[in-house]
Chains A and B, each alone.
Chain A
Amino acid sequence: MINVIFLILSLFALMGAIGMIMFSNTMHSALSFIVTVMALAGLYALLNASFLFMVQIIIYAGAIITLMLFIIMFLNIREEHAPKEPNKYINMLVVAIVLTPIDYLLFEAFLRMPHIGDFTTKIKNFGDIKMLGDKLFRGWLLPFETISILLLVALIGSIVLARKRERK
């Protein structure tokens, strides 16, 4: 049962990802990206990471892609505005071939992981918000704070850059 759900979700995630680069209409690309994001959320839920599942939906599906759709609609991007890509499929094929060794490496690493195909959780409350919070704020406080400062810097930086361009 759990394998079937896993397969269906992975299939949706892959199809969404392929659709996103294949569609020439920007809106369709964004829509198929949503499919990928939601399927990934489902995979997290399957792995018992309930907090990550919710955060994936709230942040990615709820905020980031909404923002993307908003921008696409705001600029009213149509198919004829997009740049022409005459060798799109050949390029994709070349990239796929170039990436094969890395795929193989990932596959090997995956096969050597312990407990493959075992979906039972070893720790009670694994992936729960309390558990995650404890780990983040007790064991990994410094990296956590460093990452948040990095995000803050990026946020302020983007606003500063956007303002500069406006004045010219």
Chain B
Amino acid sequence: MNIILIIVIVVNIIIALLFSLGAAPILVWVERRVAGFIQDRLGPNRCNIAGFRLGGLIQSFADMLKLVFKEDFRAGAIKEKFVFSIAPVIVFASAFLSYMVMPFADDLVIGSQTFVMQGLPINLGVLWFLAFAGLSIYGIILGGWASNNKYSLLGSIRAGAQVISYEASMTLALISLLITYGSINLVDIVNFQGKLLFGFIPAWGVVMQPLAAIIFIVTAFAEANRTPFDIAEGESEIVGGYHTEYSAMKFGLFFVGEYVAMSASSALIVTLFFGGYNLPWLGTATLKEHFSAIMWIIVVALPLLSFLFGRWIVKNNVWPKTDDIRNKETKWLLRMMVLMNMVIIAILAYFLYSGIGVTGTNIAVAVIQVATFAIKLLLMNFVFVWVRWTLPRFRYDQLQNLGWKVLLPLSIANIFLTALVVVGFGV
């Protein structure tokens, strides 16, 4: 155990926590603002701390605080108290654990040591995700059953049937992918996607396996219990489904667990189909080779982008009265942005002047890859939100028909096709 090892492990765990737990309030905010945008209204934008609204982001934190301090009410009819209490914990914990194998960056080399950039450095990859994503259904089933309420029970039964039917297609879609990549290790999978197809197309999963991508994304929606597959909570039919009887932080755990599960699904989709931490056309080796050029690009592009973002803030958040509390936010945000620009450019200029060294390049490349992963993750999460507010809910029989009669045969056909191509052409 040396000091570098401990630092890298702690950093990895912090990044994993930020991407899963830390993302939850941001995702709630994105969801509500995008919902507002799609339905032609504003969404939450009033909640503030001393004028700081951050576009309504403070509302999410206020909601979380509210859930923590609410009364934890439990109806007298609930007899299975232990099961009732542990159900939200199962949902939350399994969503959280399934996140831990996502690689944020390529293997980091410092000196003679190599580090795997995952929350848990194990090479089980996809299997780990499948295992713990499958366990989260227990929380929903047990929560609905222990609630001793017909609506809750109906919600649980629906959730159980849905997850069992869609997990089959999900796993089969994954198998055709694994035939293509030849590995279950997510780092290997992402590095495979860093290559180029025919010399100019990035070999992303979505290009190599478009059918598997569609099947996997659809089943991931079902697995995360998101609209159009949210029949488990269908509030217009069965009140709140499995979480009807829950209140306060027990409900909060279900709520946050749903967002963590959604984020984990997005992370896996990004990793499997959209190149993971790779920038298109820039694999890890290319990045390392041309790193000074990339630093120059950042030095030029960062102030430009910041200027445009600042103009956008000024356009949207400057109010006629000079003592308006909201003008203070704009002033401070602009100052912070200028400061951040100055610090980053100073650091980059120092490295450009003095040279960055091999270890420095490796760490900087890892930072760029983590940022790339974060942006892709946010975009994929946006797709989840976008679909939720665009499509209506499936009816139960439509859902089962889609799962068993469309997705399952398609995914099996895809396995045969992939195997034929791989064996026939020896790719």
Interface residues, chain A, with chain B CB atoms under 8 Å away? 27, 31, 34, 50-51, 54-55, 57-58, 61-63, 66-67, 69-70, 73-74, 76, 129
Contact = CB atoms under 8 A, between A and B. Distances in A.
Interface stretch (B135-143, B297-305, B340-348, B384-392): B135-143
Contacts of B164: 63, 66-67, 70
Given A66-B164, A70-B160, A54 B135 contact: no
Contacts of A63: 134, 164, 167
B18 to A, nearest CB: 26
A69 B134 contact: no
Contacts of A50: 122, 124
A74 B157 contact: yes
Interface string B120-151: 00101001101110110110011011000000
Interface string B196-225: 000000000000000000000000000000
B141 A62 contact: no
A58 B157 CA distance: 20
Interface of B: 83, 122, 124, 127-128, 130-132, 134-135, 137-138, 141-142, 144-145, 153, 156-157, 160-161, 163-164, 167, 171, 184
Given A54-B124, A58-B130, A129-B127, 6 more contacts: A50-B122, A54-B128, A57-B135, A58-B131, A62-B131, A69-B145
B324 to A, nearest CB: 55
A76 B152 CA distance: 13
B145 A62 contact: no
Please classify the interface of chain A as helix (H, G, I), strand (E, B), loop, or mixed, using the class held by over half of its residues: helix
Q: Is the interface of B mostly helix, strand, loop or mixed?
A: helix
B78 to A, nearest CB: 14
Nearest to B159: A70
A63 B131 CA distance: 10
A73 B138 CA distance: 13
Given A31-B83, A50-B124, A66 B131 contact: no
Given A63-B164, A66-B163, A54 B134 contact: no
Contact of A66 (B134, B144, B153): B134
Nearest to A61: B135
A106 to B, nearest CB: 30
A64 to B, nearest CB: 10
B138 A34 contact: yes
Given A61-B135, A73-B145, A129-B184, A66 B160 contact: yes
Contacts of A74: 157
Contacts of B160: 66, 69-70, 73
Contacts of B128: 54
Contact of A73 (B153, B163, B167): B153
Contacts of B167: 62-63
A67 B132 CA distance: 16
22 contacts: A31-B142, A50-B124, A57-B131, A58-B130, A58-B131, A61-B135, A62-B130, A66-B134, A66-B137, A66-B138, A66-B141, A66-B164, A69-B141, A69-B145, A70-B164, A73-B141, A73-B145, A73-B153, A73-B156, A73-B157, A74-B157, A129-B127
